[in-house]
C-alpha cells in the first residue's frame, strides 16, 4: 500500500482483508456493444460484454461500494468514527480505490482515508485529499495541504510524495485529477478574496490555464 507524507508525518495503513469483499464506483473493462439490424430483418439485438459498474457512498455509518448493484461494506471503525461521505473512486484492473471522510465521535477534525480493496490508509492531519486516479503502478491523489503558510496549498501526491501546485498565498485546492495518455491533468481553484479568484488547470504539475471565477469549480475527465 502507498504511504502518503506530510512533512515528517506518514499515513497509517490498516489491512482488513475479507473473502468476497468488493469495492466501488465507475465503469471498467470491456466495451458496450450495440448491434441494431433494421431494414427488412426482424432482428433487434442489444448485448453488453464484460461491463462492471461501481458506485460508492455511505450507508448506516459505513463506507460501501456497489458493484453491479451488489453492495459490500469497506472496513470502518464505526465505534470511533462517523463516516460522512465519499470523495472519489477509481477502478484499475482488479483494484478499487476509494477516498472517504470521517470525523471522530465526540471529537473534532476530519480524517481522510484511502481504501485499496480491503486495505485502509489514513492521511495525516492537515491533508485534505479530494480525488484519486491510477495509471499502471502509479497512484495520483489531489487535494490540499497545510504547508504552514497563510492558506492551504493545492497539492498532488504521486505514490505518496507531494508536489505543491500553489504557494499558500491564496486559499487553494486541487479538486480533480485525470490521466490523458501519459500526462496528468489537475483541476482546482485558487482564491485570493480581495484580489482575483481563479479556476486553474495543471498539466504534469505545470500551470497551463487559469480563468477568473465566482468561487465555483467543475470536474475534469477523459473519454475512456
pLDDT per residue as tens digits for the range 123-155? 999 999 999 999 999 999 999 999 998 999 999
> Which of 164, 169, 124, 116 has the alpha carbon at shortest distance from 11?
124
Q: Cα separation of 18 and 43, whole Å?
A: 45
Three-state SS for 80? Answer: coil
Is the residue at 221 inside a domain?
no
Tell me: pLDDT of 30 over 60: no
Q: Are strands 127-135 and 119-122 parallel, antiparallel or unpaired?
A: unpaired
Statement to judge: residues 116 and 132 lie in one domain = no
Last residue within a domain, chosen from 125, 145, 178: 125
DSSP state of 84: E
Mean pLDDT of all residues belonging to the chain: 80
Element spanning 16, H or E: none
Domain hosting 133: range is 126-215
Could you report how far apart the first and last alpha carbons of the chain are, in Å?
26
Total tally of structural domains belonging to the chain:
2
Supply the pTM of this predicted model: 0.76
Average pLDDT estimate for 95-110: 94
Q: Is the pLDDT of residue 33 over 80?
A: no
> pLDDT tens digit string along 163-206?
999 999 999 999 999 999 999 999 999 988 766 789 999 999 99
Q: Which tens digits make up the pLDDT trace of 60-93?
A: 999 999 999 999 999 999 999 999 999 999 999 9
Give a yes or no: residue 222 inside a domain: no
Of 125, 158, 181, the domain-final residue: 125
Rg for the chain (alpha carbons), in Å? 20
Amino acid at each position: 500500500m502507498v504511504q502518503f507524507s506530510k512533512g515528517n508525518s506518514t499515513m497509517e495503513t490498516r489491512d482488513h482483508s475479507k473473502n468476497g469483499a468488493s469495492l466501488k464506483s465507475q465503469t471498467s473493462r470491456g466495451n458496450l456493444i450495440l448491434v441494431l439490424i433494421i431494414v427488412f430483418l426482424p432482428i433487434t439485438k442489444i448485448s453488453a460484454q464484460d461491463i462492471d459498474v461501481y458506485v460508492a457512498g455511505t450507508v448506516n455509518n459505513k463506507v460501501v461500494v456497489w458493484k453491479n448493484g451488489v453492495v459490500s461494506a469497506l472496513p470502518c471503525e464505526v465505534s470511533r468514527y462517523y463516516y460522512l461521505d465519499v470523495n472519489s473512486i477509481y477502478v484499475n484492473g482488479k483494484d478499487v480505490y476509494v477516498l472517504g471522510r470521517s470525523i471522530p465521535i465526540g471529537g473534532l477534525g476530519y480524517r481522510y482515508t484511502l481504501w485499496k480493496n480491503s486495505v485502509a490508509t489514513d492521511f495525516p492531519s492537515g491533508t485534505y485529499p479530494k480525488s484519486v486516479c491510477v495509471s499502471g503502478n502509479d497512484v495520483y491523489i489531489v487535494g490540499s495541504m497545510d504547508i504552514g503558510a497563510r492558506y492551504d496549498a493545492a497539492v498532488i501526491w504521486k505514490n505518496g510524495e507531494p508536489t505543491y501546485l500553489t504557494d499558500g498565498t491564496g486559499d487553494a485546492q486541487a479538486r480533480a485529477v485525470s490521466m490523458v495518455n501519459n500526462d496528468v491533468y489537475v483541476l482546482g481553484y485558487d482564491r485570493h478574496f480581495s484580489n482575483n479568484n481563479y479556476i486553474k488547470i495543471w498539466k504534469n504539475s505545470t500551470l497551463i490555464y487559469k480563468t477568473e471565477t465566482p468561487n465555483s469549480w467543475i470536474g475534469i475527465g477523459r473519454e475512456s
